[in-house]
Copies of this chain bind each other. A is one copy, B any other.
Amino acid sequence: MNNSTADKLTVGVVGGTGYTGGELCRLLLGHPAVEVILPTSREPRPFAHTHPNLRGSGLEFRPVERLEEQADELDVVFFCTPSGEAMNRVGHFLDHGVRVVDLSADFRFRDVDRYQRVYGREHAAAHLLPEAVYGVTELNRDRVRDARLIANPGCYAITAILALTPLLNGGFVDLTSPLSIHATNGTTGAGTTPKKAIMHAEVAESMLAYSLEGHRHGPELEAFLANAIQGPPVRVDINTAHGNFARGIHLQANAGLRQRLDRDQLLETFTAAYGPGHEGEHFVLVNDVPKQGGVNEKEYDVYPSLGHVVGSNFCHLGVDVDRARGIAKVVAVTDNLVKGAAGSAIQNMNVMFGLDETLGLRTYAL
């Protein structure tokens, strides 16, 4: 029997050994409406050896096949697997009335051809693509509420979407040139498989770009934004790098302006979009510290700093304008494992089950 809104939830986590799976377990352990957490793993290592930060939690791994047998006990299952795995297992859970949040890329495209082009493989469950809801909660809340299957957005994609949507919705952007995204991600974004390039001695005091021929989140972003504005095609020039930190995305989105705007006007636009303070979106906050310096003076507190959100589900936004060149600048910072993955997934779960959207996610950054 699956749970109703009133009872506490029983939750499966397929793929519990990676950084995303571990983070999901960490957040679910503090969620007041979650009773049972069932992570899966193929390895025999005890849970506390894989996730020493969760020592004392009492969680234990089981094989995914065991979780599949338990489907009738589950309310919701999260997939934290590499792309290409969820598509083979999601149907079983849906058939047993379990809601699914897939944190991989398997259900992010409506268009199966696009999926196949970007990910280089056949899609094994294309019939489910039409009903999958792309889970940017803030912008898709109504559809999330009724979804059986959520495609949780990519970490770069959700951060860029929150940064760009107010600009695009305001009609300010000249779409004849590509939008420009530069994002720096922590090394947790590179996964848990040991490789020399992401060892500490290599990354310390360094920074390294990757996938400049076009990151997979680019097409995901283009598809979502074009759909959102229902206008002309949107092209996104996405540039990704790993920084010398473990967690978080520091993203800068630049867009050519169709009209003259100043920073205050942009601040108003963003505040209107996400609401001031408590009253608007709980997790999307705009840094409105006024600029006080003279021409070209460095002011470090007028944009959000990545550290202000690490460990939390918040997205902080900052804005400015290069007036001489007519370019809007948006800075967006998120924790790649929280707002960029496990936190958004839980936010979506909260909405799906009619819970307070912030439940289990109220922690502020360190």
Give the B-binding residues of A (Cβ under 8 A).
Answer: 19, 23, 26, 29-30, 49, 52-58, 118-120, 177-178, 180, 182, 184, 186-188, 190, 192, 194-216, 235-237, 239, 241, 243-248, 250, 252, 254, 256, 263, 277-278, 282, 285, 287, 289, 294-296, 298-301, 303-312, 314, 316, 318, 320-325, 327, 329, 331, 333, 362-366
Given A29-B364, A177-B177, A187-B200, A205 contacting B208 (CB threshold 8 A) = no
Q: What is the total number of copies of this protein in its complex?
A: 4
Given A188-B201, A201-B198, A309-B53, A247 contacting B366 (CB threshold 8 A) = yes
Would you call A207 and B245 a contact (CB within 8 A)? yes
19 further A-B contacts with Cβ under 8 Å, apart from A210-B299, A237-B327, are: A29-B364, A56-B314, A57-B364, A177-B177, A197-B301, A198-B199, A200-B203, A200-B244, A205-B310, A206-B310, A207-B306, A208-B306, A209-B252, A210-B303, A214-B296, A216-B296, A237-B322, A241-B250, A244-B244
Point out which of A208, A327, A365 has the most chain B C-beta atoms below 10 A from its C-beta: A208
Between-chain CB contacts (< 8 Å), 14 pairs = A53-B312, A55-B287, A55-B316, A57-B364, A177-B177, A186-B205, A198-B300, A205-B307, A207-B305, A210-B303, A237-B254, A243-B243, A244-B245, A363-B363
Cα A210 to Cα B320 in complex, Å, equals: 10
Would you call A205 and B205 a contact (CB within 8 A)? yes
**Chain B residues near A203 (CB, 8 Å)?**
200, 307
Q: In whole Å, how far is A140's beta carbon from the nearest beta carbon of chain B? A: 22
**Chain B residues near A198 (CB, 8 Å)?**
199-201, 300
Would you call B54 and A364 a contact (CB within 8 A)? yes
Would you call B294 and A245 a contact (CB within 8 A)? no
Given A184-B184, A195-B194, A362 contacting B206 (CB threshold 8 A) = no
Would you call B300 and A210 a contact (CB within 8 A)? yes
Of all chain B residues, the one with the shortest Cβ separation from A58 is B278
Would you call A208 and B300 a contact (CB within 8 A)? yes
Would you call B296 and A207 a contact (CB within 8 A)? no
Would you call A184 and B207 a contact (CB within 8 A)? yes
Of all chain B residues, the one with the shortest Cβ separation from A214 is B322
Q: In whole Å, how far is A258's beta carbon from the nearest beta carbon of chain B? A: 14
Of all chain B residues, the one with the shortest Cβ separation from A338 is B366
Would you call A311 and B366 a contact (CB within 8 A)? yes
Would you call B187 and A204 a contact (CB within 8 A)? yes
**Chain B residues near A246 (CB, 8 Å)?**
200-201, 204-205
Q: In whole Å, how far is A174's beta carbon from the nearest beta carbon of chain B? A: 9
Would you call B363 and A210 a contact (CB within 8 A)? no
Cα A244 to Cα B186 in complex, Å, equals: 11
Cα A363 to Cα B296 in complex, Å, equals: 35
Cα A245 to Cα B252 in complex, Å, equals: 19
Would you call A296 and B118 a contact (CB within 8 A)? yes
